[in-house]
Amino acid sequence: MRRTETSACPLDCPDACSLAVVVDDAKKDANNYSSQLVSLDGDHRNPLTDGFICTKVRSFARHVYGDERLRHPLVRVGAKGEAKFERVGWDTALERVATELRRARDEHGGESILPLCYGGSNGALTQDSVDARLFHRLGASRLARTVCAAATGAAAEGLYGKMPGVALGDLEHASYIVLWGVNPSASGIHLVPPIQRARKRGAKLVVVDPRRTPLARTADLHLAPRPGTDVVVALAVIDWLFAHGRADAAFLAAHASGVDELARRAARWPIPLAAKEADVPAELLERFAREYADASPAVVRCGWGVERNRNGGSSVAAILALPAVAGKFGVRGGGYTMSNARMLALDASRAAAEPAPATRKINMNLLGRTLLASDEPPVRVLFVYNANPLATLPRQDLVRAGLAREDLFTVVFDQVLTDTARWADVVLPATTFLEHDELRTGYGAMVVQRSRPVIDRVGESRPNYEVFAELCDRLDLSRPSDPRSPDELVAAVLAASPHGERIAAALAASDVALPEPESPVQFVDHGPRTPDGRIQLCPPALDRAAPAGLYGYVPAPVDPRWPLTLISPASGRTISSTLGQLVRGPAAVVLHPSDAASRGIAPRDRVRVRSEFGDVHCVAAVSDDVRPGVAMLPKGLWSRHTEDGATANTLCPDGLTDLGGGATFNDARVEVEKLPA
C-alpha cells in the first residue's frame, strides 16, 4: 500500500526543501510491515521549495538502499585504510568505542579526543545536541568549524552583526541583481525562478565569477575577475561611488560608522588599477558601478566562492559594504543576502545540557597537520560524524597520513562507506533523515521544519541522538534530567532558541513554522545587530585580525612552476561529497582552450594536475567557460573518481583566510600536464 508522507531535506544547502515522500508498506507477513521509500519530490509547505527539488535528492532512494549503504557496525580487521572490516553487533562496537574514549581521557586527558563533525545534516537533532553532551562531558577538544562560511561569517557579522539577509524570494522585486561568487543553478536552485521573474519584468543581471556559470551565460554583464581579487573590484566600485558623488551621504551619516576610513582604503583602488589587477575590462567595471548606483531596488547575492582564498574575508566585507555606501537598503528587493537562518537560529545548547568546556580548539582546516603534530596531548581518538574529512578538507595528503597513524583510533559514523570510513577502526551505520526525527531550518529559507521517520530503518542503522546517548550511558555520563527522546530534544532546542516559543506554537499546528515577518526588508524590519546598532564599515576587530588589515589585498605569489589557479566549486551532482558514491567517474579538470592548447591537451586526454602538495590523475575537458589561467575540478569528488584516488583537495593548501580561519581551497596553484594515452 502506498502513502505520501511529508519530510524536510536537511542537506547543507540554503533551500531546506519541504518534501513529499511516497512510501510503500510492503506486507511481509500478517504482523510485519516494512515501509520503504519509493520516491520523493518537493512540495509547497516551504514556499521557497515551490514544488520542485534538485535531481540529486530526487534520486535519494539510491543513497538509502544502494550497495554503499552501511547496514551494520563494522570493526577493522585489515591494515589501516585497507577497508577490510568484520561485521559486529552494536553492543560490541559501542563497547569498543566507549573503551577507547575512556582510555584516551584517563591516560591522555579529554583533549586527546577530537570530534569531527560538519555539514552532513543541518538538523538540530543530529548536530550539537546529544553529540555535544557526550564530548562536553568528556572534556574533548573543540572543533573550530571553519571549512565553510568562516570568512563570510566574520565579515558579515563584523559589519552588520547577525542581520538577516534579503529573503531569497524577494529577489523577484529587484531591478538590479548582482550574483557575486555564487552559482545558484547548482548550489541553491530555488533562487533561479525569482531571478527569472525579475528579469521578465526588466531587471538586469550581473554575475561576478571567474567562470561563465549558467546564469552568467544569460547575464547582462559578466565580470570574470582573477580568483581572489574581488576585494579590489568591490573597493573600486566603492571608490567610484564616493568620487562621483553617488555615495548615499545621508544614509551613511544616519546608519554607519567608519565611512571615511572605508573611503580612504577604497581610494587605493581606482577603477583602472583595480581592473588591471583583477584582469577585467575597466569600462565594464565602470559600467557596473554606474548601473548599480542608478538602480533600485538593487540586491547583491554574495556567495561562498568569494571567500575561499587568502583575501576572502576582506573581499566579502567590501562586497557587503556596497549596499551601505550606495544606499540600497530600505526597499523590498534591495540590500544584500547571504544567510537568513539567523532569524530562526536554532540553539541546541539546552539539548546538549551544558555549554562546552574551555578546552583547546582545533581548526578543522588544519586536521592533517594536527593529527601529525607532536602537540600535547596528541589526538588519540578521532570521532568523525556528519562529515567526510578525507574528501572535503584541504591537504588531503596530510589528512590521509594522519588517518594512517597506528596509534590513532578512528570512529566513522556515517550512512555510507565514505573515503574516510575506509580508514576507520570502527564504522557505525547512521540512519538518513527519512529514518529519524529532525528539526531543521535552512540558511536561505525562512522556515523551521519538524520531520519524523517515514520509512523503516535500513539494516541496523541508528540515529545520532540514540548512538550518542548510548555512549553517554556506557561512559557513566548520562543524567536523569537529560532530554532524550526526539520530542524532549525538540522541546529543549526550542526552549533555548530566540523565537522558540513562537516556533513551538506554530509547530504544534503544523510541521512547518514560518516566522513573522516572512520576508523581512533590511532597515525596515531589521537593522544591524552590532553593539551600537550601526553598520561598522571598518570594525577595529576585523582590522586587527586581517594580516594586511581589513580591505587589504595580498596578491597570490607568482611561481612559474604553478601558472594556473585551481578552483573547486559546488557541482550539481553532489552536496559537498554527499551522494558522491552515485556519481560516475572519471572526473574532468576543465581548462580554457588557450591553456589547453599551449600544453598540447585535447578534450578527454589523460592528464596530471600537480600542485606543491600532490597530483591528481584525471581527464581533461576544454571550455572557455573558465577564464584563462583558471582550471576547475568540482568539490566533493571521491577517490574512485580519479585514476590515482586523489581529488582536488590533494591540491588545496591549508593556508587560512584573512578573517575567520577559513579554508583557502581556491588558492590552489597548479600545473596540468598531458599523460601518455
Q: Which residue has the cell 521549495?
A: 49
Stretch that binds Mo ion, among 147-155, 332-340, 363-371, 434-442 (CB under 5 A): 147-155
- Residue 583 in grid coordinates: 556519481
132 binds Mo ion (CB under 5 A): no
Comparing CB distances to Mo ion, the nearer of 145 and 222 is 145
Q: Which is nearer to ligand MGD, 75 or 582 (CB)?
A: 582
Q: How many CB atoms lie within 10 A of CB 665?
A: 27
Segment lying near Mo ion (by CB under 5 A), choices 29-37, 144-152, 216-224, 627-635: 144-152
Q: Which of 648, 656, 659, 670 binds ligand MGD (CB under 6 A)?
A: 648
Q: Kindly tell me which residue out of 128, 157, 248, 414 binds ligand MGD, with binding defined by CB under 6 A.
A: 414
The piece of 141-149, 184-192, 283-291, 507-515 that touches Mo ion (CB under 5 A) is 141-149
Omega before 377 within 30 of 0, i.e. cis: yes
- Strand 448-451 relative to strand 438-441, pairing: antiparallel
103-131 burial string, b = 16+ CB within 10 Å, else e? ebbeebbbbbbbbbbbbbbbbbbbbbbbb
Q: Determine if 391 is a binding residue for Mo ion (CB under 5 A).
A: no
Q: Which residue in the block uniquely carries the three cell numbers 597570490?
A: 556
* Gap between the Cα atoms of 249 and 247, Å rounded: 6
**What residues between 332 and 391 interact with ligand MGD by CB under 6 A?**
385-389, 391
Distances (CA, A) of 53 to 41, 189, 192, 274, 281: 6, 8, 12, 40, 38
Main-chain dihedrals φ then ψ at residue 358, nearest 5 degrees: -80, 55
Query: Is position 403 an interface residue for ligand MGD (rule: CB under 6 A)?
Result: no
94 binds, among Mo ion, ligand MGD, none (CB under 5 to 8 A by kind): none
From the list Mo ion, ligand MGD, none, which binds 569 (C-beta under 5 to 8 Å, kind-based)? Answer: ligand MGD
Q: Exactly one of 339, 363, 415, 441 binds ligand MGD (CB under 6 A); which one?
A: 415
Q: Which of 42, 181, 453, 520 binds ligand MGD (CB under 6 A)?
A: 181
568 interacts with ligand MGD by CB under 6 A: yes
Chosen from Mo ion, ligand MGD, none, partner binding at 489 (C-beta under 5 to 8 Å by type): none
CA angle 65, 70, 74 (to 5 degrees): 160
Is residue 605 at the binding interface for ligand MGD, with CB under 6 A as the rule? no
Task: Tell me the closest approach of the beta carbon of residue 414 to Mo ion, in angstroms.
Answer: 18
The reply on whether position 12 binds ligand MGD by CB under 6 A is yes
Given a contact cutoff of 8 angstroms between Cβ atoms, the answer to whether 665 and 568 are in contact is yes
The grid cell for 665 is 581551497
Question: Would you tell me how many other CB atoms lie within 10 Å of the CB of residue 453?
Answer: 19
Tell me the closest approach of the beta carbon of residue 187 to Mo ion, in angstroms. Answer: 9
Q: Is 217 exposed, middle or buried (0-12, 13-18, 19+ CB in 10 A)?
A: exposed
Q: Determine if 576 is a binding residue for ligand MGD (CB under 6 A).
A: yes
Under rule CB under 5 A, residue 148 binds Mo ion: yes
Write out the binding residues for ligand MGD, residues 244-283 only, by CB under 6 A: none
Rounded least distance, CB 308 to Mo ion, Å: 10
Nearer to ligand MGD, 162 or 674 (CB): 162
Q: Which helix (H) or strand (E) holds 428?
A: strand 426-429
Residue carrying C-alpha cell 556519481: 583
Q: Which of ligand MGD, Mo ion, none does residue 619 bind to, with CB < 5 to 8 Å depending on kind?
A: none
Q: How far is CA 488 from CA 44, 116, 442, 513, in A?
A: 28, 25, 22, 18
Binder to ligand MGD among 6, 35, 126, 175 (CB under 6 A)? Answer: 126
Binding residues for ligand MGD, total number by CB under 6 A: 62
Return the residue of 119, 169, 323, 368 that touches ligand MGD, per CB under 6 A: 119
370 binds, among ligand MGD, Mo ion, none (CB under 5 to 8 A by kind): none
Question: Cβ 401 to Mo ion, closest distance in Å?
Answer: 25
Between vectors from CA 503 to CA 127 and to CA 578, what angle results, nearest 5°? Answer: 30
Query: In terms of CB distance, is 309 or 536 closer to ligand MGD?
Result: 309
Among the listed residues 309, 337, 339, 349, the single contact to ligand MGD using CB under 6 A: 309
**210/305 with CB nearer Mo ion:** 305
Q: In which residue are the cell numbers 519530510 written?
A: 7
Which range in 249-257, 409-417, 481-489, 549-557 contacts ligand MGD by CB under 6 A?
409-417
Grid coordinates standing for 672? 596540468
Residue-by-residue DSSP string for 454-493: -SPPSTT-B-HHHHHHHHHHHTT---TTS--SHHHHHHHH
Q: Position of cell 574529512?
A: 389
Task: Determine contact, residues 348/127, Cβ cutoff 8 Å.
Answer: yes
Q: Which of Mo ion, ligand MGD, none does residue 472 bind (CB under 5 to 8 Å by kind)?
A: none
Instruction: Single out the residue of 8, 9, 13, 98 in contact with ligand MGD (rule: CB under 6 A).
Output: 13
CB of 12 to Mo ion, least distance (A): 6
Of Mo ion, ligand MGD, none, which one does residue 237 interact with (CB within 5 to 8 Å by kind)?
A: none
Q: Does 652 bind ligand MGD (CB under 6 A)?
A: yes
CB 219 → ligand MGD: shortest distance, Å? 13
Cis amide leading into 517 (omega within 30):
yes
Query: Is 304 one of the binding residues for ligand MGD (CB under 6 A)?
Result: yes
Q: Closest approach of Cβ 168 to ligand MGD, in Å? A: 13
Q: Which does 328 bind (CB under 5 to 8 A by kind): ligand MGD, Mo ion, none?
A: none
Residues in a beta bridge with 115: 383
- Which among ligand MGD, Mo ion, none contacts residue 293 (Cβ within 5 to 8 A by kind)? none
Are 445 and 340 in contact, with CB atoms under 8 Å apart?
yes
Q: Does 224 bind ligand MGD (CB under 6 A)?
A: no
- Omega within 30 of 0 (cis) for the link into 586: yes
With a CB cutoff of 8 Å and minimum separation 6, the contacts of 158 are 317, 536, 539, 541, 542, 659
Query: Is 514 within 8 Å of 508 (Cβ atoms)?
Result: no
Contact residue for ligand MGD among 8, 155, 182, 205 (CB under 6 A): 182
Identify the CA nearest to 231 among candidates 190, 277, 197: 277
Interacting residues with Mo ion (CB under 5 A): 148
Interacting residues with ligand MGD (CB under 6 A): 12-13, 118-121, 126, 147-148, 180-183, 186-188, 208-211, 213, 227-228, 230, 303-306, 308-309, 385-389, 391-392, 413-416, 418, 430, 464, 567-572, 574-578, 635-636, 648-649, 652, 665-666
